Structure 1
Amino acid sequence: MLPVHVPMAIDPVPLSLLAASLILVLGLGLQAILLIAARHRRLARQIAYLARDQRELRNATDLLGQRLDEIVSLGGDETPARDLTEVVAEVRVLQTLIEELWTRKGDGAEGGAPGEDEAELAEAEILPPSAGGRRVLSAARETDDPMLNPREILEIVREGLRNNRIEIMMQPTVTLPQRRVIHYECLSRIRTKTGLLITPDHYIGIAEEEGLIGAIDNMTLFRLVQHVRRHRGPMAESRFFCNISNRSLEDAGFFEQFSDFLTANATLAQSIVFEFAQEGFPAEPSPIRDKLLALSEAGYRFSLDHITDLDIDPEEFAALGFKFLKIDAALLLSYAEHEPPLLDIGLLKGALDRVAMDLIVEHVENEDILLRLLDHPVDFGQGYLFGGPMVEGRRPR
């Protein structure tokens, strides 16, 4: 009988150990690869942040360099277009602005993802109406996107300041009932990388909380001064209204620079009116009131806006240098048309006339509101009926 060969059974335990070992080795290898990749991504982000910061610093120093070039040109053979003290004052304002931006970086590198290289945005210059020419105005896109969260808006504000994306737009103020354009309100907007304009309603509160509102006011004032000097209007009575946050007034450093700059540039008093909100305006006595009084003695005039309480003493504000009172059309009409009337606009206008203050009614958005207003004595109107915030005359930087 032939022998029968019985195959030996293979023990499954070593095979399972071998498979487990292979899986462990593969897992450790994959984990190492992922760690290396993550490290490379962090290094790439850090390099991108450094490149972005380099571009931001270059933009800021370019602005300062332009001012310094003007100082150097004052020593040449050409007749200086501006006084040396004016240019030096602008340099001080820009230097303070640059220092403030770089000492308040906030969250630092973790604040947002690095962006790709961006094309230089055109600088928007808002031109006044020419005496004989036709104005070509274009409204820029503004965003009311509710999906922007506070962190995103804060990053937009910081990036806008560092990359010189604070733009000014002008909304006309007209005489009533003639509708003749006489003044302009300067409205600041922050342009995003995609070209949208962020309105103050979105960023003012966040900027105040983060201590950046002084930088915004500073840059807005600087841009407005550039505009006034380049395109000073032919009408001597025309004024450009510039909003200054009450939070900025409380900032001693800002107000000192603000006062020094305006004092060194007293000729601007003929063209610029500074607006302050009623809410939060310092009550008497206050060092801020004393400083405003000093500016009014240098020829500057002020406007009170964002009024919510019509119990106002015109003599008190006129003594500080206030020349204008801005009241929302809906608020004014709600008081005047109440039964019985809560306010006699004629009496208010008479009190303003006695102290040489003018009444501007804002947010006049349609003809119906205008017709109701014309039943009362008002000096000026402002709103979309007469023209919204507009920008024109784009030129490359």
Structure 2
Amino acid sequence: MARIRLSALSPAASGVAGFSLGAAAILLLPGNLANAIGLLSAGLGLAGAAALARRGRVQEREQLLAAIGEVKVRLATNAIRVDTMAKRFDQLPMAEADAAPAKAMLHELTAEVGLLGDLLQQVATTLGEHDDQLSRIEGRLANPQPQPARLVAFTPERAEPRIPEPLTASRQDPTEAARLRAAEERAALISEALAKGQVEVHLQPIVSLPQRRTRGYEALVRLRLDEKTLLLPSEFLTTVEERGFGPTLDALVLTRALAIARHLGSKPGELFVSCNFSAATWGSSRALAALSRILEKYHDHIGNLVIEMPQRVFRTLEPASLGLLGAMSAGGVRFALDHVSDLRFDPVSLHDRGVRFVKASAALLLAEARGGKLADIAIGDLATQLARGSIQLVAEEVEDDPMVADMLDLGIAYGQGVVFSPPRPVRPEVFAEPQPEAAPAAASTLAVTLAPAASAEVVEHPALAQPPAVKRVPFRDILRRATA
């Protein structure tokens, strides 16, 4: 006979068994003893039902977490397989135009796998936090802490209500309280301005050396609070990231950068505009996916856009974010590394990830040239090494002409800084939508309408016209003029 497991029983079975034993005891046993035994049996049945229900919930939760873990393992395995497939695909002898759609599809698949992994991680985290809250609540209910009795002073002659003062005002210094209040008001103003989309973009040119010809622009964000107040990134980025508005700000900046890229696409010289994303966006594959959809909407202007990424972020990207970057690169987006603190690069790997520019501060490059230890090769050969991988080294924060001469000595072909031009606001007409061109049929109709009427007179053909009479001059006259 199979052994019965108590844990496999339904919680209702314990309650039914308890009530049945209690009823049988009341019916069979005489007197008050029967009532006591019946009530005790019913109580034990209810307690057993509650214990079985609690155990069942715990087991179901453990099974759910185990299933989530198994799905995460399978997703990781599939991500590895997709990565291996992409590497094998790169080794196939195919033309770049034929391989680009398949590469984009593989990158999108990798990104989707990463997004599913993030969602599962969020579900597991939420379940764990729910369990922790339940355990804390049960602990408080099991061990309630006695509340101290409040002594209320009562005067029989006159009892006036007393308004309690806020604890923060009594415990904090007045200067600190005023500072916190001002910070909260400023944060509210920043949030309101961002919600209204009061974002401005200033452009600083990136020039080629030594001609100082403009090759591109960097879009620097500003936040307009009112007509007289314009905040720099250092004054509002911290508040924006703390309030979770980083992806919203990045979407606004990207939309404006694409409008500038559309304007630059109509000009000769292959100019580009670069923009930055916040740390919150780079750490969220969901935010990157939203920005990828914006890029797909403005796909015709991607060729004039460069997205800058900090070197630290680039080296710590998750597989899902790497997949999204690969999809953007396959779609034509170029990337630039900025905030560089380490000059050791692999040009082939950077080029495969879509990196076309490396931006390092001029002070860092000069310090390395004077004996730094941030590069494996001479700093004068760094620009040449990157150029072999179709990557341009840009010296930013160039402040004066002697620093420009130092950059030329190091062989750096691109520069950016106040010595060339400070950031300047963009003209409003750049963001205006282009006017639709007139239809060819309408243009031809207008030309026909405005053309003069043809003359009815017959014009003599040039071949049939009489040639002009040639006047002959004696040779003596010509000789006399020549010797005069």
TM-score by length of 1: 0.58
Give, in whole Å, the separation in 1 of the partners of 2:390 and 2:209: 17
Counterpart among 372, 380, 384 of residue 350 in structure 1: 384
Structure-2 residue corresponding to 1:235: 268
AA partner of residue 295 (structure 1) = M
Identify if the C-alpha distance between structure 1 residues 380 and 224 changes in structure 2 by more than 3 Å, giving closer, same or farther: same
Q: Give 5+ residue unaligned stretches, structure 2.
A: 1-178, 433-484
Which amino acid is 2:274 matched to?
Answer: F
Who is 2:393 aligned against?
359
Map residues 199-348 of structure 1 onto 2, 5 A cutoff. 199-230=232-263, 232-283=265-316, 286-338=319-371, 344-348=378-382
Match of 1:378 in 2: 412
Letter in 2 for 1:386: F
Instruction: Quickly say closer, same or farther: Cα 1:392–1:276, change in 2 above 3 A.
Output: closer
- CA separation of 1:293/1:365 partners in 2, compared to 1, >3 Å: closer, same or farther? same
CA distance in 1 between counterparts of 2:212 and 2:258 reads 26
2-structure distance, mates of 1:154, 1:271: 34
Post-superposition shift, 1:148?
A: 11
Could you report, residue by residue, the CA deviation over 1:18-68 in whole angstroms, capped at 9, with x for unpaired residues? xxxxxxxxxxxxxxxxxxxxxxxxxxxxxxxxxxxxxxxxxxxxxxxxxxx
- Letter of the 2:381 counterpart: L
- Alignment correspondent of 1:197: 230
Cα distance in 2 for partners of 1:187, 1:382 equals 13
RMSD between aligned residues: 2.7
- 1-side partners of 2:279 and 2:374: how far apart? 32
CA gap of 1:341–1:276, structure 2 versus 1, over 3 A, is: closer
Offset, 1:233: 4.4
Higher mean displacement: 193-202 or 359-368: 193-202
By how many angstroms is 1:353 displaced?
Answer: 1.6
SS in 1 for 2:202: strand
Kindly name which structure, 1 or 2, has the bigger radius of gyration based on alpha carbons. 2
Superposed CA offset, 1:183-223 (max 9, x none): 00011100121422211112222212221111111111112
Distance 1:385 1:261, change over 3 A: same
Contact 2:369 2:380 in 1 (8 A): no
Native 8 Å contact 2:282 2:313 kept in 1: no
Maintained 8 Å contact 2:276/2:307: yes
Summarize the Cα distance change of 1:236–1:149 in structure 2 as closer, same or farther, 3 Å threshold: farther
Indicate the residue corresponding to 2:220 in structure 1. Answer: 187
* 2:362–2:396 Cα contact (<8 Å) kept: yes
Contact 1:170 1:184 in 2 (8 A): yes
Percent of matched pairs sharing the same residue: 29
Deviation at 1:234, TM superposition (A): 1.0
How big is each residue's C-alpha offset from its partner over 1:66-102, in whole Å with a ceiling of 9 and x where there is no partner? xxxxxxxxxxxxxxxxxxxxxxxxxxxxxxxxxxxxx
User: How much has 1:382 moved relative to structure 2?
Assistant: 0.2
Q: Taking structure 1 as reference, are residues 372 and 162 closer, same or farther at Cα in structure 2, changes over 3 Å only?
A: same
Structure 1 or 2: more helix by fraction? 2
Structure 1: how far apart are the matches of 2:181 and 2:280?
A: 24
The whole-number CA distance in structure 1 between the counterparts of 2:398 and 2:340 is 15
Matched with 1:391 is 425
**Is the 8 Å Cα contact of residues 208 and 214 (structure 2) preserved in structure 1?**
yes
Q: Which residue is equivalent to 2:95?
A: none
Distance 1:231 1:273, change over 3 A: closer
Matching residue of 1:62: none
**2:199/2:252 contact within 8 Å kept:** yes
TM-score (ref. length: structure 2): 0.48
Higher RCO (C-alpha under 8 Å, 6+ residues apart): 1
Give 1:134-149 correspondences, 5 Å limit.
Answer: none
Change (3 A) 1:317 1:340: closer
- Paired positions, count: 252
1:112-159 CA distance string (max 9 Å, x none): xxxxxxxxxxxxxxxxxxxxxxxxxxxxxxxxxx99964344223212
